[in-house]
Amino acid sequence: MNPFKYGTIVSGKDFCGRKSLLKQIIGYIESSQNIVILGERRVGKSSTLYEAFLKCKTGRLLYVDLLGIKSIDALCRRILRAIVVLEQKTAWFDKIVKTLSYLRPSISVDPITSMPTVSFDASVEMKANSIPGVFTLIESLGKKRRLVVVFDEFQDILNLEDSHEALSLLRSKIQFQSGIPYIFVGSIRHKMDEIFTHHDSPFFKSAIPLTVEPLPYEEFSEFLKKKFATGQRKIDDEVLEKVFEIANEIPGDIQQLCEALWEISSEKEIISLDKLKNALELIFAREQKSYETYISLLTNIQLRCLMAIAKEGGKSVFSASFMKPAGFNNPSSVRRAITRLIKLNILFESGGEYRFINPFFRAWLPYKG
Ligand SMILES: Nc1ncnc2c1ncn2[C@@H]1O[C@H](COP(=O)(O)OP(=O)(O)OP(=O)(O)O)[C@@H](O)[C@H]1O
Ligand SMILES: [Mg+2]
């Protein structure tokens, strides 16, 4: 069985390294300190946090994913659903259902798992004034047994029309719950900064920031080699170095490429550099449709700009040496193209450099063109 996992939370034997970061997070959880976990996409934020929680061996986790929320109603529903999931095996279940009676919860039993499930009346729209009640419920859960609350993809709260009001209400409740550690996880850097470091944000300096960096080569490459060895495969260091380079050192992307290398190789094989091409082709074949969709959304100018970044990198896109070969005469047209490419979630900006969100799309572009 292919031992490489990507796109999911990894823990236990699938989790590599990060000893000192885990220790730090565990310390903060144990002292009920609120923290914010930052890092690039697919670097391992959720996994690190989950692994730290497992190692604490204490309390329960209320995990709320805010990915894509667009309203306060959705925010409250996500939290309530997480609470119901957490409590469905306990005697508290009835009490919660009573507390939420204004949402007309209806209980049914899942025929497969025999677990009770709850659905709420969709016609009741929760507004800002529901937020305090929802957080009082969290508080009472915390009194019963030790609780750790996680808001993953927290930056998406800025999508709400009334995000400032929502954040103020959250903050005013959370600051009095000193026995419950709140952990905010997020990846779109400037948005998380807007929430935690802007003076006028209700969450200004309200949590200790921790950054999840890519795993160091020595540690992660050993881990990956052992995984290859479980299927009697050996991989050369020069191949792994190239894998790290193509994936920009992002652990999730490294594992995705290793998964493909495993698929196109067989037992007792020594995986050498020439296999990389086949592995990439496998990934391209799987992802081609979405690449083509992206391309269809671009104007010629935007595509030219993207091709140039794929080829030259995105460090000095306003220099003559970048613009001229790409056919641009002035920086403002490059800027316009890049703004659009960021909006489409094709590129992101990191420390003044424009990079591809999906490194395999970057690898595919020149290959294709
Ligand atoms: N410590 C680790 N050991 C091994 N693999 C890891 C580790 N951390 C992350 N990964 C790899 O990265 C993938 C993504 O991890 P995770 O979902 O935790 O990242 P994330 O930063 O929360 O991502 P997203 O930005 O999508 O929320 C995992 O499926 C795994 O392939
Ligand atoms: Mg995550």
> CATH number for the domain including 170?
3.40.50.300
Tokens of 165: 């009001």
Residue 366: the pLDDT is 81
Please report whether residue 11 resides in a domain.
Answer: no
Judge if 190 and 219 occupy the same domain: no
Q: Which atom of ligand 1 is nearest to the CA of 212?
A: 21
Judge if 290 and 219 occupy the same domain: yes
Span from the CA of 63 to the centroid of ligand 2 (angstroms): 12
Please report whether residue 10 resides in a domain.
Answer: no
Judge if 40 and 120 occupy the same domain: yes
First to last CA, the chain: 35
User: Which ligand minimizes its atom distance to the CA of 152?
Assistant: 2
Span from the CA of 214 to the centroid of ligand 1 (angstroms): 10
Please report whether residue 188 resides in a domain.
Answer: yes
Which of the listed residues 244, 277, 296 is the one where a domain comes to its end?
Answer: 296
User: Which ligand minimizes its atom distance to the CA of 15?
Assistant: 1
Judge if 55 and 150 occupy the same domain: yes
pLDDT in tens, the chain (369 residues): 999 999 999 999 999 999 999 999 999 999 999 999 999 999 999 999 999 999 987 789 999 999 999 999 889 888 988 888 887 766 666 777 777 777 777 767 777 766 666 677 777 777 888 888 888 888 888 887 889 999 999 999 999 998 999 999 999 999 899 899 999 999 877 888 889 888 889 988 888 999 999 999 999 999 999 999 999 999 999 999 999 999 999 999 999 999 999 999 999 989 999 999 999 999 999 999 999 999 999 999 999 999 999 988 999 888 888 888 888 888 899 999 999 999 999 999 888 899 999 999 999 998 765
- Tell me the best of 37, 43, 189, 257 to mutate to test the pocket of ligand 1, counting ligand atoms within 8 Å of each CB and taking the most: 43
Length, in residues, of the chain: 369
Which of the listed residues 267, 296, 325 is the one where a domain comes to its end?
Answer: 296
User: Which ligand minimizes its atom distance to the CA of 11?
Assistant: 1
DSSP string, 52-90: HHHHH--SEEEEEE-TT--SHHHHHHHHHHHHHHHHTTS
Span from the CA of 107 to the centroid of ligand 1 (angstroms): 35
Residue 85: the pLDDT is 80
Give me the domain span that covers residue 234: 215-296
Span from the CA of 73 to the centroid of ligand 2 (angstroms): 22
Residue 237: the pLDDT is 93
> 255: exposed, middle or buried (C-beta count within 10 Å: 0-12, 13-18, 19+)?
buried
Judge if 59 and 162 occupy the same domain: yes
Please report whether residue 4 resides in a domain.
Answer: no
Which of the listed residues 193, 211, 229 is the one where a domain comes to its end?
Answer: 211
Judge if 198 and 254 occupy the same domain: no
Residue 368: the pLDDT is 65
Please report whether residue 94 resides in a domain.
Answer: yes
> 126: exposed, middle or buried (C-beta count within 10 Å: 0-12, 13-18, 19+)?
buried
Judge if 288 and 256 occupy the same domain: yes
- Tell me the best of 14, 42, 51, 66 to mutate to test the pocket of ligand 1, counting ligand atoms within 8 Å of each CB and taking the most: 42
Pocket of ligand 1 (CB under 6 A): 5-10, 15-18, 39, 41-47, 187, 251-252, 255
Please report whether residue 280 resides in a domain.
Answer: yes
Please report whether residue 3 resides in a domain.
Answer: no
Total domain count for the chain?
3
What is the CATH number for 220? 1.10.8.60
Please report whether residue 1 resides in a domain.
Answer: no
Judge if 72 and 127 occupy the same domain: yes
Span from the CA of 40 to the centroid of ligand 1 (angstroms): 10
Q: Which atom of ligand 1 is nearest to the CA of 185?
A: 22
Judge if 201 and 318 occupy the same domain: no
Judge if 279 and 303 occupy the same domain: no
